[in-house]
Chain A
Amino acid sequence: MILRHRQADAGKVNEWRRFVAVFLRVLFGGTVIFYLFVLLVDPYDIVAFSLPLDRRIVSISQRYMYPQIVRSRRYDSLVVGTSTVRLLDPQLLDKSFGTRFANLAMDSMTAWEQKTMITYFIRKVGPPKVLIVGLDVVWCDQSADRNRITFRGFPDWLYDDNQWNDYLYLFNVGTAEIAGRLVGYQLGLYPERVRYDGYEVFVLPESEYDLTRARQRIWNRRKPEAPPNVAPPSLSLDKRRALVFPALNWLDATLAKLPSSSLKILAYVPVHVAAQPWPGTHAAAVEAECKTRIAAIAGRRGATVIDWRINSVLTRNDSNYWDSLHYRVPIATRIANQLGPAVLAGRESDDGSYRLILR
């Protein structure tokens, strides 16, 4: 009887010992397997010993995917900015400028992130042949230094020069999922999401364009109206001095890193008039001051400034836009084609849709 009890107890002990062993094997084994999978597939192309795969951009996590485009050294020029410049096709820009462009603009890319991307490009590739900065509201944001990144987070470890710290950040669901997609791409089960030069048509196909819905998005319950042709209210010297645009210091410092051989283009993006400061308001005066300071920086650093962010036939026309920020693909094509002649040959706009401020 006692012997039977002892055997039963020993059986229980063994069961629990096996239970712990299974738990630990699955925990550590699973961890190692997932980590090895990510390291070998290496979706960000940073691991020294990863498999020799054709690494495509299979995720729209731009902040994670784009550094490898820079490190590939396939491109000598770059575009940075928010989604408002993502539709500029690098291949069209290449025709005008004789370059190899990568469009590294990202959704809601902050000024700090844009600066980080440019300096990363300089460190990894060298000074770009042509740099296009798509200027919009983020550069004139008075709280840019407090809001350096978006809610998406920013993997600054991918943009530093320390290759070793990258290994600490690869064991996570997001990276494992992208690695899985990359394997899917190799097997022909998953498509490339973004062309390797960063170009992606992220808006709906042109065939699905609906002007009524676009107008709703553009005006967002406001009554559509043409902006009045009035000058911004003048700000006193004290009020102008009180305005601080932290991102402009970054812009100045970044442009200062570039040699005179780099063509530097600061291009204000044509957002719809509904998304621009309304003429005559204080916001318009603040933006005018910001533009003045950007022109001064450009003058100092030998940059060209071209401005589509104005009240024009382009920005007043609802049918050019999907919403107040995003123009349609034909407009993007037009801008990409106009940019080269405007910057290189000083060609003015036929219809006043842009102004060449400084060249």
Chain B
Amino acid sequence: MLFQSQFYVLIFLPVAAALYYAAAGSTIVRQWVLIGASLVFYGWWDARLVVLPVAQITGTWLLALAHERYGQRAFLVAGVVLNLASLGTFKYLDFLLGIFESLSGLALPRANIVLPIGISFFSFQLISYLIDRLRGSAPIYPFRPFALFVLIYPHLIAGPIVRHNELVPQFALDPRREGVWRRIGIGLVIFAVGFAKKVLIADKLATVADPLFARADLRALDLGEAWTAVLAFTFQLFLDFSAYTEMAIGSALVFGVVLPENFRRPYLATDIRDFWRRWHISLSNFLRDYLYIPLGGSRNGPWRYVLATTGTMGLCGLWHGAGWTYVVWGLWHGIGLVTCRAWQQLNRPMPSIVGWAITLLFVMVGWVIFRSKSFGAAGSMLMSLAGAGGFGGTLQEVKLLVVAALASGLIPSAHEIKDGLLHPHPALAAGGAALAVYCLLEVGQGTPVNFIYFQF
């Protein structure tokens, strides 16, 4: 099910919330209600695929329980292997076969397995729990709240990536506790903001970026086309993904659950380290805690730092998709982070505006690699950006790009709204709801456009 569908907004969310609050007096019943709603939400795409997250959650929980009972770390290692095997099979098998094929020269068949939606997100959350168990920092939870920590539908498909200790304690709290109307009100407004960003801007940008990137596969774009394509995709990706996050955070707030922040206006970053503190924050935190620090972090000498940073970012790229372009995109950012840190250690700060421009340009080059189907296509697009396809053409859809830029730079993040920007004025409520009604009318026009991050 898509957040930005009429069915979700007008039927699913109100019904699920009504049942949840009707059952609010019983922890057990309301948690089952939320689990049931989450399974329906996930199974809406393909009911058969519900088996996978349920199996991974159950397997992980049983192995953690066995570890608790018998004290053998092998159970936890087996759990990590189980989740990695699932991820590897469903997401990376064909990629690995391709690598093996090119190394061995053998012609191998492809599995062509359907990628279960959200697998990267729920697998990583289960692995993080098992690693925390290995570190001795995760308790055994009852099955129900443990399952709910992974399954709770607002974050199930595309995050924010949540750690068990951020969510499980919240499930014990009565959603009718003090501040319930404030949480619901803020949740609805945050949802409406995300809804509008997705439907009114990001999806419009897709109609600009997609044909131009497709055209770039066939011929070199001129300067105007290339910059239009890359700017459109740059804004589309942020507005699409942050819109999903806002709809997720907003929906969760309606149920009285606070999900962590994921974006803080990343295109205002003045250096690339700043960018990663603002972009996909929950993934950055996850990678920091479970990869970067175990790989050595920044306190074991410069070479270890370089290795830890580029290794972490390379794997970050691979997490996004089973393709070398994703890996290179990650490495590009790894190199950027290392270079940025080296520059900062020289103590020669550059003017903020220069830093901002360099950072944005660096990020946009990265998005070209990220978006392209092949290195050839990425190279062609980058050459076009430099004018190799001719200096003709002008920037297209300027109004839309300006609106997108303003929205990217000015709209506060979900947590900024939550933490005090919003006041309970009826005009704001009416405005937010009217915006939502318009978005509902807009999405009724055709098939809703999937979120970009659903493919990861």
Contact = CB atoms under 8 A, between A and B. Distances in A.
Interface of A: 12-13, 15-20, 22-28, 30-31, 34, 153, 169-176
B436 A27 contact: yes
A351 to B, nearest CB: 42
Given A16-B424, A27-B437, A30-B437, A171 B444 contact: yes
Which of B189, B428, B444 has the largest count of A CB atoms less than 10 A from its CB?
Answer: B444
Interface of B: 6, 9-10, 181-182, 184-185, 188-189, 424-426, 428-430, 432-434, 436-438, 440-446
A23 B437 contact: no
A17 B444 contact: no
A19 B428 contact: yes
B444 A173 contact: yes
Contact of B184 (A12, A20, A22, A171): A20
A28 B426 CA distance: 16
Given A19-B181, A20-B188, A23-B429, A31 B424 contact: no
Nearest to B440: A31
30 contacts: A12-B182, A18-B426, A19-B185, A19-B425, A19-B426, A19-B428, A20-B181, A20-B184, A20-B188, A20-B429, A22-B433, A23-B430, A24-B188, A24-B433, A25-B433, A26-B430, A26-B437, A27-B188, A28-B10, A30-B434, A34-B441, A153-B446, A171-B440, A172-B442, A172-B443, A173-B441, A173-B442, A173-B444, A173-B445, A176-B441
Nearest to B438: A173
A319 B428 CA distance: 60
Contacts of B436: 27
A276 B86 CA distance: 55
- Prevailing SS type, chain B contact patch: helix
Given A27-B437, A173-B441, A173-B445, 12 more contacts: A12-B182, A13-B181, A15-B424, A16-B185, A22-B426, A22-B429, A30-B437, A31-B437, A34-B441, A153-B446, A170-B444, A175-B444
A17 B433 contact: no
B185 A23 contact: yes
Nearest to A170: B444
A27 B437 CA distance: 6
The 8 closest A-B pairs by CB, nearest first: A172-B444, A26-B433, A16-B181, A30-B437, A22-B429, A15-B424, A19-B424, A23-B429
A171 B6 contact: yes
B441 A172 contact: yes
A62 B124 CA distance: 49
A19 B427 CA distance: 9
B48 to A, nearest CB: 25
Contacts of A169: 444
A61 to B, nearest CB: 11
A34 B188 contact: no
Contacts of B446: 153
Contacts of B425: 19
B181 A34 contact: no
B392 to A, nearest CB: 15
B182 A16 contact: yes
A22 B430 contact: yes
Contacts of B430: 22-23, 26
B110 to A, nearest CB: 22
B429 A31 contact: no
B455 to A, nearest CB: 22
A25 B434 CA distance: 10
Contacts of B185: 16, 19-20, 23
A26 B429 contact: yes
Nearest to A28: B10
Contacts of A23: 185, 188-189, 429-430, 432-433
B437 A34 contact: yes
A176 B443 CA distance: 13
A26 B441 contact: no
B201 to A, nearest CB: 15
B422 to A, nearest CB: 9
A103 B390 CA distance: 46
Contacts of A16: 181-182, 184-185, 424
A31 B10 contact: yes
B181 A172 contact: no
A22 to B, nearest CB: 4
B429 A174 contact: no
Nearest to B188: A23
Which of B185, B425, B432, B436 has the largest count of A CB atoms less than 10 A from its CB?
Answer: B185
A24 B184 CA distance: 11
B433 to A, nearest CB: 4
A170 B181 CA distance: 33
Contacts of A13: 181
Contacts of B429: 19-20, 22-23, 26
Contacts of A28: 10
A153 B189 CA distance: 32
Contacts of B441: 34, 171-173, 176
Contacts of B443: 172
B407 to A, nearest CB: 20
A34 B6 CA distance: 13
A99 B160 CA distance: 65
A270 B185 CA distance: 62
Nearest to A13: B181
Contacts of B184: 16, 20
A22 B185 CA distance: 10
A13 B10 CA distance: 25
